[in-house]
């Protein structure tokens, strides 16, 4: 096991396309690091550079304190799981697992022992004599995992290993990946475009965009304290609602954000948490609200009285019932935010906008408790947790008051 | 489409190719079988039937057996040499350079070599024959012997030395065929997913291992196709031997092949009955080879 350190790593393809731009990342020993971002953000390229499958155009990659820039893949002591599994089709499962060990001239009994252990761990015992063609997608995926495990490498590299599985299998494989990592404790770098996978698997998550590192943090911190509009829009499903709003002083001495015909009070605590926010009073900024910070006022009587919850009347255009929760889509009488960051994050998101927008309105999503029973076309009184408002600079798109943005 | 019109539809499609096949393939074969039982010399309107006499004579015909022996050697050597050389070239052209820019690529200059290797394929066989006549010429005007003489060595009778002539011609056959198989195997290699090679590279496979443990087994289907093509080509060789060899199949029948013997027997010695008997023998050899390869090479298909 080892740490992996990327220092000022660049990848420039012929033609000058910069796939990875000055990437600095330290993956600690035993850590599960997820690289996430929309397609073309350079996450796979970064992984393949660690593996040695791509040349490094600039900077340095060290695995276990040894610089590996010029080492061929086989000498880096890492194992990789590919998106399409990349099993050897002409070998049985057993031979697939043993191939890497055989090439390393390991004694036969030791190979047998490791193969059997891995097969048992992954529930592949009864398939050892089969060829990959006779396995299901999930089984092939486990063989690919097994091939990495038997090698007992310094680090696992995984390139979207679950994306070819169906949704249900993906969830269960996600769980087994988690337990596997806990049991083996091997440093893992995991690439995915799926932010749910990133959130559930990663000890830490690294968000990339256009080859540039956006933010590295624990999943919860990424969700609660996104560093900019892109991360805010990319992480979380359904994604964060944005609107261009004015931050103003109210008559009572407090502060509020106003947009459309809505005014949300901003608690004093927010100003102490987000240093520099007071400088925006009287100015425009971009307000972000997570769908999960909404609640149906009628269904959540307890909250409505307490401070910090503001009311927004809305008309439910579309409702998506998820069983335990309902996604209520409603229109806000304000133009959609057209910042380059939100557009980029939206492109990456899988759910498309369902209704064509009428004029200058933006479609917001709120996630309310299923007790709400709201139906499309009904009016609903939503309440918002004003403690969890997110504020972004309308030009730079950076989160206001985020420690990482101080001085930027 | 009505049910009764379905056969009509099928027949409509089949009628042209089946007619052509029957007229130009099946009927000449049947005719050859018939002529093989006669002593026809190409003139008589009513050739005399002599039963299996022609075939009985074949058994004692030294030249015939010499030609058959040549086919035997061709059948082994032509596919073996051509496929081995083509495989090495195709591997170097497509995968030998290792991973570059995220994809497996060939050695430096592989695009140029690809064209060079395919070049013999676009030359007509007769042109190849003439070309190699110049190369094999016995005096110092020949490309090979010119070089040997300049190095102070004795010139070699590439086509006149009975023990060497056949191999000289075989070399030309291989030279001409390799280009096509390089292209065929390149296509086969391109069909193998790149991440399998990457996985092998991570597993610790060098070029040698990559070739024998991954590329070769995954190319098996394509290899079989190549083997069958070349096996059938091994029963031919008419044009090249005709143009290149001394005295058409010489010296002393050292390079002769069955199609050439058939042609000579029929058109030079006007023994059409006997030539047809040879043709029938060749037909059965080819059929046997085809049936054997189809049986032997049957193997489970590789799926990715």
Question: What are phi and psi for residue A378, nearest 5 degrees?
Answer: -80, 150
Which residues in chain A have Cβ-Cβ distances shorter than 8 Å to B209? 103
Which residues in chain A have Cβ-Cβ distances shorter than 8 Å to B300? 131
Tell me whether strands A4-12 and A58-63 are parallel, antiparallel or unpaired.
Answer: antiparallel
Residue A27 confidence (pLDDT): 93
> What letter would DSSP give residue B102?
T
Q: A354: pLDDT confidence band, cut at 50, 70 and 90?
A: very low
Q: What is the pLDDT of residues B203-256, one digit of tens each?
A: 888 888 888 888 888 888 888 888 888 988 888 888 888 888 887 877 888 888
Which residues in chain B have Cβ-Cβ distances shorter than 8 Å to A89? 196, 218, 302-304
Of A13, A55, A103, the CB nearest to B209: A103
Cβ atoms A273, A401 nearer than 8 A: yes
Of B202, B300, B302, the CB nearest to A51: B202
Find all residues with CB under 8 Å of B18, minimum gap 6, and list them.
none
Judge whether residue A357 has pLDDT over 60: no
Q: A9: pLDDT confidence band, cut at 50, 70 and 90?
A: very high
The SS3 assignment for A243 reads strand
Interface mutation target, options B202, B211, B222, chain A, most CBs of A under 10 Å:
B202
Q: What's the burial of A149, exposed, middle or buried (CB within 10 Å: 0-12/13-18/19+)?
A: buried
Judge whether residue B1 has pLDDT over 60: no
B98 vs B207: CA distance, rounded Å? 8
Which residues in chain B have Cβ-Cβ distances shorter than 8 Å to A74? 201-206
Which residues in chain B have Cβ-Cβ distances shorter than 8 Å to A53? 99, 102, 198, 201-202
Characterize B258-287 residue by residue with b for buried, 16 or more Cβ atoms within 10 angstroms of its Cβ, and e for exposed: bbbbbbbbbeeeebbbbbbbbbbbbeebbe
Domain ranges of chain B: 60-296
Cβ atoms A165, A141 nearer than 8 A: yes
> What letter would DSSP give residue A352?
P
Mean residue pLDDT across chain A: 87
- Stretch among A30-34, B30-34, B108-112, B250-254 having the lowest mean pLDDT: B108-112
Q: A300: pLDDT confidence band, cut at 50, 70 and 90?
A: low
Cβ atoms A367, A291 nearer than 8 A: yes
Q: B2: pLDDT confidence band, cut at 50, 70 and 90?
A: low
B-contacting residues of A 139-168, CB under 8 Å?
147, 151
Most confident of A288-292, B197-201, B296-300: A288-292
Widest Cα–Cα separation across chain B = 82
B101–A13 C-beta distance less than 8 A:
yes
Superfamily in which the B60-296 domain is placed by CATH: MetI-like (1.10.3720.10)
Characterize B137-163 residue by residue with b for buried, 16 or more Cβ atoms within 10 angstroms of its Cβ, and e for exposed: bbeeebebbeeeeeeeeebbbbbbeee
C-alpha closest to that of A163 among A313, A61, A36: A36
pLDDT-above-90 percentage for chain A: 45
Chain B nearest-CA distance from A30, in A, is: 20
B204–A88 C-beta distance less than 8 A:
no
What is the chain A residue with the closest CA to B304? A89
Cβ atoms A128, A94 nearer than 8 A: yes
A91 vs A79: CA distance, rounded Å? 19
The whole-number average pLDDT for the span B59-76 is: 89
What is the chain B residue with the closest CA to A157? B202
Of A72, A86, A147, the CB nearest to B193: A86
Cross-strand partners of A62: A5, A67
Contacts 24+ apart (CB under 8 A), B42-48: B42/B266, B42/B270, B42/B272, B43/B270, B47/B273
Residue A36 confidence (pLDDT): 93
CA–CA distances in Å: residue A28 to residues A1, A2, A64, A214, A218: 10, 7, 10, 19, 13
| A82 contact B CB<8A | yes
Interface mutation target, options B101, B191, B201, B204, chain A, most CBs of A under 10 Å:
B204
Widest Cα–Cα separation across chain A = 81
Interface mutation target, options B199, B210, B211, B224, chain A, most CBs of A under 10 Å:
B199
B160 vs B132: CA distance, rounded Å? 14
Q: Name the residue with tokens 């991954």.
A: B214
Give me the count of residues in chain A: 408
Helices (H), A204-339: 219-224, 229-234, 268-273, 301-305
A6 vs A62: CA distance, rounded Å? 6
Of B193, B199, B302, the CB nearest to A90: B302
Q: A81: pLDDT confidence band, cut at 50, 70 and 90?
A: very high
- Stretch among A28-42, A180-194, A235-249, B90-104 having the lowest mean pLDDT: B90-104
Q: A208: pLDDT confidence band, cut at 50, 70 and 90?
A: very high
The whole-number average pLDDT for the span A63-71 is: 90
Residue B227 confidence (pLDDT): 87
A86–B303 C-beta distance less than 8 A:
no
What is the chain B residue with the closest CA to A159? B195
> What letter would DSSP give residue A228?
B
pTM: predicted TM-score of the whole model, two decimal places: 0.79
Which residues in chain B have Cβ-Cβ distances shorter than 8 Å to A45? 102
Judge whether residue A188 has pLDDT over 90: yes
Find all residues with CB under 8 Å of B292, minimum gap 6, and list them.
none
Judge whether residue A309 has pLDDT over 90: no
A184 vs A149: CA distance, rounded Å? 9
Residue B151 confidence (pLDDT): 87
- Of residues B302 and A298, which shows the higher confidence score? A298
| A48 contact B CB<8A | yes
Chain B nearest-CA distance from A47, in A, is: 12
What is the chain B residue with the closest CA to A140? B304
Interface mutation target, options A44, A74, A76, chain B, most CBs of B under 10 Å:
A74
Helices (H) and strands (E) in chain A, counts: 11, 20
A365 vs A383: CA distance, rounded Å? 13
Domains of chain A are 4-233 (3.40.50.300), 234-405 (2.40.50.140)
B303–A133 C-beta distance less than 8 A:
yes
CA torsion A227-A229-A231-A232 (nearest 10°) is 100
Judge whether residue A373 has pLDDT over 90: no
Residue A350 confidence (pLDDT): 47
* Strand ranges for A227-354 from DSSP E: 241-249, 255-259, 262-266, 284-289, 294-296, 309-321, 325-332
Residue A347 confidence (pLDDT): 57
Chain B nearest-CA distance from A55, in A, is: 7
- CB atoms near residue B67 (< 10 Å): 26
Question: What are phi and psi for residue B172, nearest 5 degrees?
Answer: -65, -40
Contacts 24+ apart (CB under 8 A), A164-167: A164/A83, A164/A84, A164/A85, A164/A137, A165/A137, A165/A138, A165/A141, A166/A137
| A71 contact B CB<8A | no
Q: What is the pLDDT of residues B40-59, one digit of tens each?
A: 887 877 878 888 888 888 88
The whole-number average pLDDT for the span A48-72 is: 90
A368 vs A382: CA distance, rounded Å? 9
Query: What does the angle CA A83 – CA A85 – CA A87 come to, to the nearest 5 degrees?
Result: 155
C-alpha closest to that of B170 among B245, B274, B116: B245
Which residues in chain A have Cβ-Cβ distances shorter than 8 Å to B95? none
What is the chain B residue with the closest CA to A158? B199
CA-based R_g, chain B, Å: 24
What is the chain B residue with the closest CA to A77? B202
A18 vs A46: CA distance, rounded Å? 12
| A339 contact B CB<8A | no
Cβ atoms A215, A226 nearer than 8 A: yes
The whole-number average pLDDT for the span B69-94 is: 91
A155 vs A167: CA distance, rounded Å? 27
Cβ atoms B117, B111 nearer than 8 A: no
Which residues in chain A have Cβ-Cβ distances shorter than 8 Å to B204? 74, 100, 103-104
B193–A100 C-beta distance less than 8 A:
no
* CA A368 to chain CA centroid, nearest Å: 23
State whether the Cα torsion B18-B24-B29-B32 is positive or negative: positive
pLDDT-above-70 percentage for chain B: 93
- CB atoms near residue B82 (< 10 Å): 26
Q: What is the pLDDT of residues A150-162, one digit of tens each?
A: 998 999 999 999 9
A204 vs A186: CA distance, rounded Å? 14
Q: B98: pLDDT confidence band, cut at 50, 70 and 90?
A: low
What is the chain A residue with the closest CA to B303? A133
Q: Name the helix (H) or strand (E) containing A82.
A: none
Residue A363, both tokens: 């479609």
The whole-number average pLDDT for the span B290-304 is: 70
A90–B202 C-beta distance less than 8 A:
no
The whole-number average pLDDT for the span A226-241 is: 90
Phi-psi region of A88 (alpha: psi -120 to 50; beta: other; left: phi over 0): beta
Helical pair B62-94 and B110-118, crossing angle rounded to 10 deg: 160
Give me the count of residues in chain B: 304
Q: Name the helix (H) or strand (E) containing A370.
A: none
The SS3 assignment for A206 reads strand
Of A54, A104, A147, the CB nearest to B102: A54
Residue B304 confidence (pLDDT): 61
Judge whether residue B99 has pLDDT over 70: no
Mean residue pLDDT across chain B: 85
A80–B198 C-beta distance less than 8 A:
yes
Residue A288 confidence (pLDDT): 93
Residue A154, both tokens: 């310094």
B200–A89 C-beta distance less than 8 A:
no
The whole-number average pLDDT for the span A294-305 is: 71
| A70 contact B CB<8A | no
Judge whether residue A346 has pLDDT over 80: no
The SS3 assignment for B280 reads helix
Of B99, B195, B205, the CB nearest to A84: B195
């Amino acid at each position: 096991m080892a740490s992996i350190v990327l220092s000022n790593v660049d990848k420039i393809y012929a033609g000058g396309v910069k796939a990875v731009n000055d990437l600095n990342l330290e993956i600690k020993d035993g850590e599960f690091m997820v690289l996430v971002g929309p397609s073309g953000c350079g996450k796979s390229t970064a992984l393949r550079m660690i593996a040695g499958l791509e040349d490094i155009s600039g900077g340095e990659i060290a695995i276990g304190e040894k610089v590996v820039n010029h080492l061929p893949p086989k000498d880096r002591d890492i194992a990789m799981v590919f998106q399409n599994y990349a099993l050897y089709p002409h070998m049985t499962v057993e031979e697939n697992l043993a191939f890497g060990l055989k090439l390393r001239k390991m004694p036969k009994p030791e190979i047998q022992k490791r193969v059997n252990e891995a097969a048992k761990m992954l529930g592949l015992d009864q398939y050892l004599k089969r060829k990959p063609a006779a396995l299901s997608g999930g089984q092939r995926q486990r063989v690919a995992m097994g091939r990495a495990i038997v090698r007992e490498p310094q680090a696992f590299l995984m390139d979207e290993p679950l994306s070819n599985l169906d949704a249900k299998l993906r969830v269960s494989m996600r769980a087994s990946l988690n337990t596997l990592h806990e049991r083996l404790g091997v440093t893992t770098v995991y690439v995915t475009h799926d932010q749910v996978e990133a959130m559930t698997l990663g000890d830490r998550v690294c968000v990339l965009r256009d080859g540039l590192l956006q933010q590295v943090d624990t999943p919860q911190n990424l969700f609660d304290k996104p560093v900019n509009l892109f991360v805010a829009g990319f992480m979380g499903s359904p994604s964060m609602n944005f609107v261009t709003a004015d931050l103003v002083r109210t008559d009572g001495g407090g502060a509020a954000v106003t947009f459309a015909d809505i005014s949300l009070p901003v608690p004093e605590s927010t100003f102490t948490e987000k240093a520099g926010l007071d400088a925006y009073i009287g100015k425009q900024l971009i307000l972000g609200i997570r769908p999960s910070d909404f609640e149906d006022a009628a269904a959540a009587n307890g909250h409505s009285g307490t401070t910090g919850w503001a009311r927004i009347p809305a008309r439910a255009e579309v409702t998506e019932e998820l069983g335990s929760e309902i996604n209520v889509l409603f229109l806000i009488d304000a133009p959609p935010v057209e910042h380059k960051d939100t557009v980029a994050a939206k492109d990456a998101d899988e759910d498309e906008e369902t209704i064509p927008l009428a004029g200058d309105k933006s479609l917001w999503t709120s996630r309310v408790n299923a007790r709400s029973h709201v139906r499309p076309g009904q009016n609903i009184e939503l309440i918002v947790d004003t403690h969890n408002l997110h504020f972004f600079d309308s030009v730079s798109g950076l989160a206001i008051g985020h420690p990482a943005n101080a001085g930027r | 489409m009505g049910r009764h019109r379905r056969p009509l539809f099928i027949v409509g499609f089949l009628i042209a190719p089946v007619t052509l096949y029957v007229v130009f393939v099946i009927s000449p074969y049947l005719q050859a079988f018939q002529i093989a039982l006669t002593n026809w010399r190409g003139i008589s309107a009513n050739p005399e039937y002599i039963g299996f006499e022609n075939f009985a004579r074949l058994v004692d015909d030294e030249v015939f057996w010499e030609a058959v022996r040549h086919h035997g050697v061709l059948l082994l050597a032509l596919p073996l040499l051509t496929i081995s050389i083509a495989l090495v070239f195709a591997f170097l052209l497509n995968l030998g350079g290792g991973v570059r820019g995220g994809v497996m690529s060939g050695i430096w200059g592989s695009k140029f070599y690809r064209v060079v290797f395919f070049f013999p394929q676009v030359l007509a066989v007769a042109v190849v024959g003439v070309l190699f006549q110049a190369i094999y010429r016995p005096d110092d005007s020949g490309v090979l012997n010119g070089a040997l003489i300049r190095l102070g060595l004795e010139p070699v009778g590439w086509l006149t030395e009975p023990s060497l002539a056949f191999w000289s011609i075989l070399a030309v056959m291989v030279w001409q065929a390799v280009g096509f198989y390089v292209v065929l195997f390149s296509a086969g290699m391109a069909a193998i997913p790149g991440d399998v090679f990457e996985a092998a590279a991570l597993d610790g496979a060098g070029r040698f291992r990559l070739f024998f443990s991954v590329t070769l087994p995954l190319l098996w289907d394509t290899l079989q196709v190549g083997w069958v093509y070349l096996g059938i080509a091994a029963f031919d060789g008419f044009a090249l031997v005709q143009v290149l060899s001394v005295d058409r199949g010489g010296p002393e029948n050292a390079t002769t092949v069955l199609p050439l013997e058939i042609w000579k027997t029929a058109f030079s010695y006007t023994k059409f009955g006997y030539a047809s008997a040879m043709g029938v023998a060749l037909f059965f050899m080819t059929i046997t080879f085809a049936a054997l390869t189809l049986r032997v090479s049957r193997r489970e298909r590789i799926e990715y």
